[in-house]
Amino acid sequence: MEYSETIDEILDHYRNPRNYGELADATVRAKDSNPLCGDVIEMFLKVDGGKIVDVRFRGKGCAISQASASMLTERLKGMTLEEARSLDRNYVLDMLGVNLSPVRVKCATLSLKVMKVGVYSYLGSSVKDLEV
C-alpha cells in the first residue's frame, strides 16, 4: 500500500471508526489515557471459550489514537486471548503503516495498552487461586 493510501485509511478510521461504542455484555473492560496528547481509550471485549468474540471501544483524542483503536478492534475479533496478549507495538505500527515520532507512538499504542491491561486483568481474575 502506498503512503497516501495508508494516510487515507487512517483518516477513514478516524472519521468513521469501526466497532465504536459500549458493549453492554462485555467480559473485559479497561480504560486508560495518554496525558501528553489528551487521548482516552476505553475498550470492551466479549470473551467466550478463551476467544475474543466481540469488541468495542470508545474514546477521544487525536486521529492516530482513534484510528489505531478502530483498526485494532477489527483485528482482535476471533483472536484467542493468548494471540491478543502476544501483540506488541510493532504489530500496531505495522498495522498503521506510517512512520511516527516517539510521542505519536504513544498515541498509536494506547489501544494496545488498554486491551492488554484488560486481558491481563481478566486472566488474573480467572486464575487468582494459582500460586505464583
The pLDDT assigned to 82 comes to: 95
- For residue 93, give Cα distances in angstroms to 12, 42, 48, 90, 122: 17, 20, 28, 5, 25
The residues, any chain, with a CB within 8 Å of residue 121's CB and separated by 6 or more, are 28, 30
Number of domains in the chain: 1
C-alpha span between 16 and 60 (Å, rounded): 13
Answer whether residue 62 is part of any domain.
Answer: yes
Say what the pLDDT of residue 130 is.
37
Does some domain include residue 121? Answer: no
Q: Looking at the domain assignment, is residue 130 inside a domain?
A: no
Quick one: cell of 5?
Answer: 493510501
Structural domain span for residue 15:
3-115
pLDDT at 129: 44
**Among 35, 10, 2, 3, residue whose Cα is nearest residue 96:** 10
Residue of 53, 80, 52, 57 lying closest to 68 (CA atoms)? 57
- What is the CATH number for 57? 3.90.1010.10
**Over 50: is that where the pLDDT of 25 sits?**
yes
Read off the pLDDT of residues 48-99 as tens digits, 9 standing for 90 and up: 999 999 999 999 999 999 999 999 999 999 999 999 999 999 999 999 999 9
Is residue 19 one of the residues assigned to a domain? yes
Q: Is residue 27 part of a domain?
A: yes
